[in-house]
């Protein structure tokens, strides 16, 4: 449904929402108080007071239109308060992942020229103090955590800042209120730094028009409304959560509650009982795996009932997708399946979900089909930070899993052949219904949501925009009857010694469906054949070992057991049986250490840093190819 109010800028959206709900005592945000363990509501009127207080402080400290304010914090009300305060002054939000090491925090704060840095915890404060002297434009650090020791004079406590800012706003309200009205759609709203699988992160310049047009277009496709309630847990510094889980939710009058942490998510779902869930595929995969592991441990009769119910759900879903009315017997079976099985699964997610939205990575087809069968539609979309971010989304009433759906209204996507640069087809979000089908090529984009460019990096900006104004995404895909299908990133493409172009992403996604595989990276650039580095699912392996009386003193010892290695050999044989010859994996190595953000092998958005992984395991990779007679020399 459309937004509650009309808006062209974030300050306009905020002020009009406050005016719309004034006097209704309607909650805008909620959080769980750590001391009382109860959920606390923040009404729109209270949110306005907090935002004005923070804006007063920022303005007193010299923040003016175009100036940058950085936030190093988990999702919490203070994140939204700081952002909205920055926006109504005409400032620019620079949000950072809390998982970043101090060196990367320092790089981003310095590169952006942020004047103020707001941090959440003592851990983040230590990072901020470490990099303060390296950032000449940084004036103060505001901390949300208790100040339990002496800190440098540039560190200020949140409560003190808010009290000071409230007094300043009251004294200068007439002057400060006008600043929001002066913000224009093409003014900069945020710098979002790409996580960078290669090289240094780049600051993506996103304007008010970028965000506002994207929210308004997305709300034409996705049925958010004032009665909805969103539990926010994906990092707000990620463009997906910022647009879909923050700006869009507020714009449609819905309510945001902040999860305590990812570890507390299961409990928070039961407490908040949200109506919509916005997540990345990894969460849905974990829920799917947990359900199936639980079923496998159940008595035989319960397993039969579960699989019967899912079969009924699949038939019911097929009827709805095909526009057929299910017969009375199927309807009766579905009601019984819901009572016996599906309701319990829904209850694990709070029992109130209408639908879920997935983005940030590819949703495995079998995951989407399973959740649809049990009565929860996962709407998969696609986008990039540079496009604010949403480009496509599956229509909720006719999703096609394995695709990322229809182009958003106002956006145009073209497919450019990789060999000769010819555009082989293009489709606007206003052209539906469409049966456009194209060959594979690079995905190009035009639209009001496309970024202004990269901060302080004209060369990188020129590289992604061509002479005709198309933004080059670097992704490979095609249209299939109007639905966009993503293959992989161009830069991930492996060119084998035999000259075959191979995209590792789809291979890895397929193999991650195997119960023993948690993470996998396919290797093969310039080689005669493909190999793989595999991080096992150790929980599944330990359970298997226990059930089969296999003894191992450590995870490393577990991986050395022939019976365990045989599991992975079987998984790869199953894959190789149906794979083209050049996409078969001939060798693999099992890793005891996972790819993580902390060891530098994952980006903050949980994507593998392929170059770093290959460099880190270079000796292991070379030994593997030497052993199997296919070195890359």
> Mind giving me the DSSP string for 274-290?
-SEEEE-HHHHHHHHHH
Give CA separation, 50 vs 258, 506, 560, in Å: 17, 46, 57
Q: How far apart are CA 477 and CA 473, in angstroms?
A: 10
Is residue 414 within 8 Å of residue 423, measured between CB atoms?
A: yes
382: region left, alpha or beta (phi > 0 left; psi from -120 to 50 alpha) = beta
State the pLDDT at residue 633.
41
Strand segments (E) across 214-282: 229-232, 255-258, 276-279
State the pLDDT at residue 198.
53
Give the residues across from 377 on adjacent strands: 355
Nearest of 173, 22, 14, 24 to residue 82 by alpha carbon: 14
Q: How far apart are CA 139 and CA 116, in angstroms?
A: 6
DSSP single-letter state for residue 527: S
Give the burial class of 585: count Cβ atoms within 10 A of its Cβ; 0-12 exposed, 13-18 middle, 19 or more buried.
buried
Give the burial class of 325: count Cβ atoms within 10 A of its Cβ; 0-12 exposed, 13-18 middle, 19 or more buried.
exposed
DSSP single-letter state for residue 234: S
Nearest of 603, 601, 599, 473 to residue 195 by alpha carbon: 603
Element (H, E) at 489: strand 483-489
Nearest of 377, 379, 415, 416 to residue 394 by alpha carbon: 379
Q: How far apart are CA 228 and CA 126, in angstroms?
A: 38
Domains within the chain, CATH numbers bracketed: 10-183+235-247 (3.40.50.12780), 279-447+463-488 (2.30.38.10), 493-627 (3.30.300.30)
Is residue 415 within 8 Å of residue 442, measured between CB atoms?
A: yes
574: region left, alpha or beta (phi > 0 left; psi from -120 to 50 alpha) = alpha
Element (H, E) at 442: strand 441-446
Is residue 191 within 8 Å of residue 452, measured between CB atoms?
A: no
Give CA separation, 338 vs 306, 343, 350, 570, in Å: 10, 5, 15, 35
Is residue 552 within 8 Å of residue 494, measured between CB atoms?
A: no
Give CA separation, 600 vs 499, 524, 609, in Å: 31, 21, 8
pTM over 0.85? The answer is yes
Is residue 138 within 8 Å of residue 152, measured between CB atoms?
A: no
State the pLDDT at residue 632.
44
Mean pLDDT per block of 10 residues along the chain (633 residues) reads 93 98 97 96 98 98 98 98 98 95 94 98 96 97 88 94 98 96 98 75 96 97 94 94 96 97 94 95 88 90 96 95 93 96 95 94 91 96 96 94 96 96 96 96 98 96 96 96 92 85 90 91 93 94 91 92 95 94 94 90 84 93 85 46
């Amino acid at each position: 449904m459309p937004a509650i109010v009309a808006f062209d800028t974030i300050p306009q959206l905020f002020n009009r929402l406050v005016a719309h709900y004034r006097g209704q005592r309607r909650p805008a945000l909620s959080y769980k108080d750590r001391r009382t363990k109860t959920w606390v509501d923040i009404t729109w009127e209270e949110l306005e007071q907090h935002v004005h207080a923070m804006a007063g402080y920022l303005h007193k400290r010299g923040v003016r239109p175009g100036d940058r304010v950085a936030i190093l914090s988990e999702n919490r009300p203070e994140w939204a308060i700081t952002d909205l305060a920055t926006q109504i002054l005409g400032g620019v939000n620079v949000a950072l992942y809390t998982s970043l090491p101090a060196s990367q925090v320092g790089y981003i704060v310095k590169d952006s020229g942020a004047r103020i840095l707001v941090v959440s915890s003592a851990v983040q404060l230590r990072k901020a103090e470490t990099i303060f002297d390296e950032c000449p434009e940084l004036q103060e650090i505001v901390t949300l955590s208790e100040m339990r020791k002496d800190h440098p004079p540039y560190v200020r406590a949140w409560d003190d800042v808010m009290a000071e800012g409230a007094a300043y706003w009251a004294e200068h309200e007439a002057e400060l209120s006008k600043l929001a009205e002066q913000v224009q759609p093409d003014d900069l709203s945020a710098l979002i730094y790409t996580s960078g699988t290669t090289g240094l992160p780049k600051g993506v310049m996103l304007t008010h028009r970028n965000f506002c047009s994207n929210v308004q277009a997305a709300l034409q496709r996705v049925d958010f409304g004032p009665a909805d309630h969103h539990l926010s847990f994906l990092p707000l510094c990620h463009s997906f959560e910022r647009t879909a889980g923050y700006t869009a939710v507020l714009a449609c009058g819905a309510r945001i509650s902040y999860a305590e942490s990812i570890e507390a998510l299961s409990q928070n779902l039961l407490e908040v009982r949200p109506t919509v869930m916005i997540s990345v595929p990894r969460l849905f995969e974990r829920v799917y795996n947990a359900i199936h592991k639980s079923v496998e441990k159940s008595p035989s009769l319960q397993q039969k009932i579960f699989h019967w119910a899912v079969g009924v759900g699949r038939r019911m879903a097929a009827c709805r997708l095909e526009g057929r009315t299910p017969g009375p017997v199927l309807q009766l079976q579905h009601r019984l399946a819901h009572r016996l099985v599906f309701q319990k699964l829904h209850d694990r997610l709070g029992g109130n979900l209408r639908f879920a939205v997935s983005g940030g990575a590819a949703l495995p087809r079998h995951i989407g089909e399973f959740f649809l069968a049990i009565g929860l539609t996962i709407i998969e979309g696609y986008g990039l930070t540079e496009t604010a971010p949403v480009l496509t989304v599956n229509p909720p009433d006719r999703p096609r899993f394995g695709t990322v759906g229809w182009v958003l209204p106002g956006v145009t996507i073209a497919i450019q052949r990789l060999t000769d640069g010819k555009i082989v087809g293009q489709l606007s979000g206003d052209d539906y219904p469409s049966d456009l089908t194209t060959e594979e090529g690079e995905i190009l984009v035009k639209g009001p949501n496309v970024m202004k460019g990269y901060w302080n990096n004209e060369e990188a900006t020129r590289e992604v925009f061509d002479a005709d104004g198309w933004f080059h995404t670097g992704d490979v895909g095609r249209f299939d009857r109007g639905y966009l299908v993503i293959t992989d990133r161009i830069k991930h493409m492996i060119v084998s010694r035999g000259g075959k172009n191979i995209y590792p992403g789809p291979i890895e996604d397929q193999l991650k469906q195997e119960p023993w595989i948690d993470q996998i990276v396919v290797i093969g650039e310039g080689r005669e054949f493909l190999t793989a580095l595999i991080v096992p699912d150790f929980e599944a392996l330990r359970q298997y070992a226990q059930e089969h009386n296999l003894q191992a003193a450590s995870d490393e010892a577990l991986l050395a057991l022939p019976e365990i290695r045989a599991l992975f050999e079987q998984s790869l044989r199953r894959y190789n049986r149906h794979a083209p010859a050049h996409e078969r994996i001939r060798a693999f190595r099992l890793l005891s250490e996972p790819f993580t953000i902390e060891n530098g092998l994952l980006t903050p958005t949980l994507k593998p840093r392929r170059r770093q992984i290959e460099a880190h395991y270079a000796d292991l990779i070379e030994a593997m190819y030497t052993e199997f007679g296919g070195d890359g020399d």
